[in-house]
Structures are given as C-alpha cells and as structure tokens.
C-alpha cells in the first residue's frame, strides 16, 4: 500500500508536470502544501466527488489561488469529473483548469480565488451561512446542517488588508466550524518575506479571538492530523493552523526559494525532483494503486447516503421545515413571492409619496422581508444612514446565529466578499450596504460577484453631489459609470419609491449575477405611470412621458428624472415635442430586444440630452455626437445639496438651454 508521502507526491508530480507543460504557473505552493492536503482530503474532508453540490458537504477554499494545481490535483485524484486531459490542458483556452480556480469551470471549485485574501473572506461568509442555517433549521437530535469550512492561505493572503477585516469579524462571531491553514513558507514572488512581512501572525489571530495552533510541521502527517483534530474540537472559535512548510518541497535545487514560486521548474529540475521523490513514472503518470487510495467516490456516496437518512427522519419529524430548507438551499423563491411583491408595487403607484429612495428602499424591505426568511442583510456601520434594518431584522451574534442581519462594522471590502461567500454557500439572499463613495474600498469583491455570477445585492446610498456638506471626499462622481462598465453587474438608480421597489424586486429575482441598488439621501417626487409604464420599469429604461413624433429625448436617472420632466414641460411651452426616458438600469436596458430599444430611443431622433449627477462621459453612448450631457466633469464641493445642484448646472434653466442649442 502506498505511503502517505507517496500519496502526497502524486500531487507534487501532477503539479510540476502541468505547470511545465503550460510553461507557466506556480508549482511551489502545491508541492509545499501537498502533505497537508493529503491528510485533510483523505481523512477529514466530508465531500462526495459524484455529487459536488451535496448541500451538507464541507467547503474547501484555496485562498492562495495561484497554487491552483493543488486543488486540480485533489479533484482529479479523488474522483471528481476532472479527467487527466484537463490536467494536461492546465491554463489553456476553454479548459476546466484555468490559471486560478474559477467558480463554475471545474466541479468542486467552491469559489474563484484569484485576488489574494478574498478566498479566506469568502470562507468566512460560508462559515457564517453554515452557522446561521444550522441555528434556523437544526432541531434537537436532527443536525441536518453540520459541516466545516476549510481554507488554505499563504503569506500574501495575510498581507492583504481584507484578511484583517474577515479574521476580526470571524473571531467576533465565534465561527467554530471555520478552520484555516497558514502555509508559512516564508517566500513570495519577490523572495524571502522577512524583508516585508514580520507580523506575529499567531498573536494577531489570537487577538481576533481565534484558536491558534502554532508550530505545526507541514510535512509531518501525524502532526497535521493532530492539529486538525484539535481544531475541530474547538467549537466556539475559528481555528488557525500554522504550518511550517518548504515551498516546492521535492525540488532538490529550487525548493525553499522564490525560484519555484511562480515559474516552471524546468525539465532538468523535474527529472531531479522525480529522483528525489523516488517517483519513477513518466509525466502525468499515476500508478493504479495510488489512484485507488485517493479515490473517494464510494466513501463520499456513503457519507451523503447517511445524511439522506438523517434528512428523511428530519422531514418526517418537521415536514414544513424540511420543505423550507430544500426551497432555500435550491435558491427558489416562495410560491407567493411574485403575486405579493407585484401587489406592493401596484399599491405604491396608486398611493403617491415622495420619500428619499433610501427610505423607499427600507419601506420595500419591510414589505418584502416577511416574505423572504432567506434574507441576510447588513451594513458597514451605516445602518442608520443606509436604512438597511427593517422591522423583522435580528442581529446575528456569537451566541445566537438565528438572526438575519450582520453588523459588519467598518469593513466595506470584507462585507462584500463575505456576502459572496454567503451567496455561494446557498440558503440565503445576502444584501449589504454602505455609501456609494465607499464602493471604492469594495470594488474588487463586487467584481468577483459579477465574475462568479453570484446574486449578491449591494446597496449604496448617498448617491451623488446631493450628499451635500460632507464634500467631495464623500460625493460619488465616477463610481456609477465605472460600475456600469463592469460586465454582468446590474446597477439600478431609481427615480422614486416605485422604481425603488421594482429595483429590489428585480435584484431578488435575479439568479445569474449581482445587483447594485443606488439610492438618494434627498426626497424624490413620485412619477405618474400607466399600467404599461409600470410594467416597463423592469426593462431598465422606458418612456415616462412623450409627445407624438418627439423632436428631442431627455434621458435621466434617479434624482434627475424630475429635472428632466420639468425641463420637458418648459420646452413644451415653447412648442417643442419632447420625450422623457427614465433609465433606472442601463445594464438591463441593454439586454432588451433591438426592437424595444428602438421604440424607446428611436434612431430618427438624434437630438438627445442625458441628465445625471455623475460623470458625463458614460452617457455619450446614448446621446451620440449630436447630443448633450448635463453631468459631472469634476469632483464635487462642500455645500448644501441645493447649492451644489445649481452650481454644477442641474437646473431647469441650464438643461433647457442645452436642449435648445441642439435645434
């Protein structure tokens, strides 16, 4: 029977062979962490290669995603649908084995881990989801939600600031089923990290409230196993296992140095490594007895079958809870959602009111929240301004995880990546809020949600120079435009309480990507709509008012829609025919048919004026060379909102003048 070292060496040879064939990649981390991975995956990880989506599986996250051949080797060896040809196609076009693990490419990849630090933060989100789901569904004698989240991370993850945000909150919430492994090899791309990373990492995590196991030999299987067992026994704190490893272990001339971090070993060094490891096979050749010891399909099926029996007993004792659990874990909305959400929207339209859209957002939460027990809200310390707490909100705490609201503290980046982890876990619809300006702190996590097509809902308030006296540091100008340039991110900037509710409805119903909801601080006048207009809001852009055969089209969003309406009224007094288009979501509008888009913005009407208190450049795609944009071209100023709008030209007089210049 193969030894543990021989089983771990299978990871090493697959990793160095794949990187060499691709002529790019990172062999050092997979070779250095192979022994840790072998113990975890063969002795502790609860998973089923024949059903990678089994709800109660343990989650494994490779936060140091540059070491992707580690997880690809593990998936291949344990029996996932990742054949050897995919290993050979590492980093090649359309393979299931891209340079960094990408969610949705290979079975068993739980999240995309390219940007360092986000993987461990996603893991925190998954551990929060597990703890909350267990508190909401488990009953005495029926622990149907009972799994761990394991994460590997390197020095780079720990140097990134997001690891502080995530580690701090994980300790505060007492996430006892989160176990992180620190690959303490002392090497990054630039060389030995002691020149730029001398933190006392164990002390740092102890200060966060973690259980820390220091000084583990990452090449001693018994020590690794003992550490994992100890970590699993600590149920009130997340655990950090500090593993001292040699990067590129097995390479006689390059191990322990940055030479094996981010480059192929080279044919001569691979030959020498095979001799050092006692591996006699050719490239990509794994002996049958080693495959047999790694194969986890039968064990995985037994684990899932055992859980199926537990769930059947649970369903017999608690049929309604069991049905609700299945609905939520499958990301299905309640049966009465469509009818009741639409009824609320129609009621709003029939009863005009003029709240700020951030307040309209809170009103929508109060209407929709009771319908959605899967809501998991939160705010980065601005709940009183973002208005994200609704009447049914209950804080999630260390001692009571049955709540539906997370107080994230001042952690915008961490919050956003944690939300992605919650969405990936399934069972919840996560939303989290901050001021729009502070999306700058969180942008990379928002991008990752879009890249992974995860339905995270990012709520942003105080959306323009309308913020007022806080000044240009807090006034978003270019943020909406840059978010609209992000593929697969839908950005809604509603003009009144009705569009705000529809924006929430559409965000909740979306399953193939994230949504940002962008709300005002100031009150917004409700617009009149007929039934067709109300229906068309969800198309992202629609005709709000129109004269027959218009000569000019105004396009506006959010707080500027009323300005466009007022400007249109002035032009009509001058005898001009005008159309006003409200475009709360350009991203959704772009997905409509060519015929619908032409019906809203006919090519025959070249006189167009876009009005938005954000960066002007974005709107030229809609107004063209013959149009005009009333927007921002500079940063804001510190003054009351009314003065700022006048100063920057967001007045009826200026808009009408711009329009008349087109005639």
- How many CB atoms lie under 10 A from the CB of residue 312? 11
Query: Going along 511-588, which residue ranges are E strands?
Result: 515-518, 542-546, 552-556, 578-582
* Phi, psi of 576, rounded to the nearest 5 degrees: -95, 150
SS3 label, residue 341: helix
Angle subtended at Cα 134 by Cα 132 and Cα 136, rounded to the nearest 5 degrees: 70
**Is residue 261 a known part of a binding site?**
yes
412 classed as catalytic:
yes
**Is residue 142 a known part of a binding site?**
no
CA–CA gap between residue 355 and residue 358 (Å, rounded): 8
Burial 467-505 (b: 16+ CB within 10 A, else e): bbeeeeebbbbebbbbbbebeebbbbbbbbbbbbbbbbb
* Phi, psi of 116, rounded to the nearest 5 degrees: -60, 145
**Is residue 521 a known part of a binding site?**
yes
Burial 106-143 (b: 16+ CB within 10 A, else e): bebbbbbbbbbbbbbbbbbbbbbbbbbbbebbbeeebe
Give which of 30, 123, 115, 39 is closest to 72, Cα–Cα.
30
**Is residue 66 a known part of a binding site?**
yes
**Is residue 164 a known part of a binding site?**
no
**Is residue 529 a known part of a binding site?**
no
CA–CA gap between residue 119 and residue 151 (Å, rounded): 8
- What strands lie across the sheet with 211-217, from one edge to the other? 59-62, 149-153, 178-184, 239-244, 211-217
**Is residue 114 a known part of a binding site?**
yes
**Is residue 155 a known part of a binding site?**
yes
**Is residue 335 a known part of a binding site?**
no
**Is residue 116 a known part of a binding site?**
yes
End-to-end CA distance of the chain: 86
**Is residue 219 a known part of a binding site?**
no
**Is residue 47 a known part of a binding site?**
no
Q: Which of 38, 374, 412, 612 is catalytic?
A: 412
Determine which helix (DSSP H) or strand (DSSP E) holds 181, and give its type and residue range.
strand 178-184
Compute CA distances 210 → 58, 235, 241, 383, whole Å.
20, 11, 10, 27
SS3 label, residue 39: helix
**Is residue 354 a known part of a binding site?**
no
CA dihedral 332, 334, 336, 338 (to 10 degrees): -40
**Is residue 587 a known part of a binding site?**
no
Catalytic residue IDs = 412
Residue ranges of the annotated binding site are 26, 66, 114-116, 155-156, 185, 187, 261, 358, 385, 438, 462, 470, 474, 521
Where is the binding site for thiamine diphosphate, in residues? 66, 114-116, 156, 185, 261, 438
Annotated binding site for Mg(2+): 155, 185, 187
From the annotation, which residues make up the binding site for substrate?
Answer: 26, 261, 358, 385, 462, 470, 474, 521
């Amino acid at each position: 029977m193969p030894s543990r070292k021989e089983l771990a060496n299978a990871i090493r040879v697959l990793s160095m062979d794949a990187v060499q064939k691709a002529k790019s990649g990172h062999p050092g981390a997979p070779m250095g962490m192979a022994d840790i991975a072998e113990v975890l995956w063969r002795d502790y990880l609860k998973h089923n290669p024949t059903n990678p989506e089994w709800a109660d599986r343990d989650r494994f996250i490779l936060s140091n995603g540059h070491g992707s051949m580690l997880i690809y080797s593990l998936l291949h060896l344990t029996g996932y649908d990742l054949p050897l040809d995919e290993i050979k196609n590492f980093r090649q076009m359309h393979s299931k084995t891209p340079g960094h693990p990408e969610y949705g490419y290979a079975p068993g990849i739980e999240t995309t881990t390219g940007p360092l630090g986000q993987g461990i933060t996603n893991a925190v989100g998954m551990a929060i989801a597990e703890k909350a789901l267990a508190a909401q569904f488990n009953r005495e004698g029926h622990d149907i939600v009972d799994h761990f989240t394991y994460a590997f991370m390197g020095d780079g993850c720990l140097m990134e600031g997001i690891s502080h945000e995530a580690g701090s909150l994980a300790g505060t919430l007492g996430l006892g089923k989160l176990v992180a492994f620190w690959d303490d090899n002392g090497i990054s791309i630039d060389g030995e990290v002691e020149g730029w990373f001398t933190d006392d990492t164990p002390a740092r995590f102890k200060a966060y409230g973690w259980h820390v196991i220091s000084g583990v030999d990452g090449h001693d299987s018994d020590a690794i196993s003992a550490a994992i067992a100890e970590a699993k026994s600590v149920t009130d704190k997340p655990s950090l296992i500090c593993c001292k490893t040699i990067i590129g272990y097995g390479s006689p001339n390059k191990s322990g140095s940055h030479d094996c971090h981010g480059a192929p070993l080279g044919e001569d060094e691979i030959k020498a490594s095979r001799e050092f490891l006692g591996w006699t096979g050719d490239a990509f050749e794994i002996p049958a007895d080693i495959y047999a010891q790694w194969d986890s399909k039968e064990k995985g099926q037994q684990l899932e079958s055992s859980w199926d029996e537990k769930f059947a007993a649970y369903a017999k004792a608690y049929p309604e809870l069991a049905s609700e659990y299945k609905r939520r874990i499958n990301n299905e909305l309640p049966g009465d959602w469509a009818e009741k959400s639409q009824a609320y929207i129609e009621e709003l339209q029939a009863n005009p009111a003029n709240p700020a859209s951030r307040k309209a957002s809170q009103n929508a939460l109060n209407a929709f929240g009771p319908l959605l027990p899967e809501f998991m809200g939160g705010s980065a310390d601005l709940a009183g301004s973002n208005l994200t707490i609704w009447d049914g909100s209950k804080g999630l705490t260390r001692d009571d995880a049955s709540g539906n609201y997370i107080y994230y503290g001042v952690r915008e980046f961490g919050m956003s990546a944690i939300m992605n982890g919650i969405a990936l876990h399934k069972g919840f619809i996560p939303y989290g809020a901050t001021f729009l300006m502070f999306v700058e702190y969180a942008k990379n996590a928002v991008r990752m949600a879009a890249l992974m097509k995860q339905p995270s809902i990012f709520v942003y308030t105080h959306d323009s120079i309308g913020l007022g006296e806080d000044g240009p540091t807090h006034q978003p100008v270019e943020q909406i435009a840059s978010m609209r340039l992000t593929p697969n991110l839908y950005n809604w900037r509603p003009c009144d309480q009705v569009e705000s509710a529809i924006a929430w409805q559409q965000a909740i119903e979306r399953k193939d990507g994230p949504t940002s909801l962008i709300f005002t601080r100031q009150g917004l006048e409700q617009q009149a709509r007929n039934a067709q207009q109300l229906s068309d809001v969800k198309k992202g852009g629609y005709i709000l008012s129109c004269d027959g055969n218009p000569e000019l089209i105004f396009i506006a969003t959010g707080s500027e829609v009323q300005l466009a309406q007022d400007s249109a009224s002035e032009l009509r007094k001058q005898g001009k025919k005008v159309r006003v288009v409200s475009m709360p979501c350009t991203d959704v509008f772009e997905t409509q048919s060519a015929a619908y888009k032409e019906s809203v913005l006919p090519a025959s009407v070249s006189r167009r004026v876009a009005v938005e208190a954000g960066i002007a450049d974005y709107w030229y795609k809609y107004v063209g060379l013959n149009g005009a944009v009333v927007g921002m071209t500079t940063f804001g100023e510190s003054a009351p909102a009314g003065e700022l709008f006048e100063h920057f030209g967001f007045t009826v007089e200026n808009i009408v003048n711009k329009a008349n210049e087109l005639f």
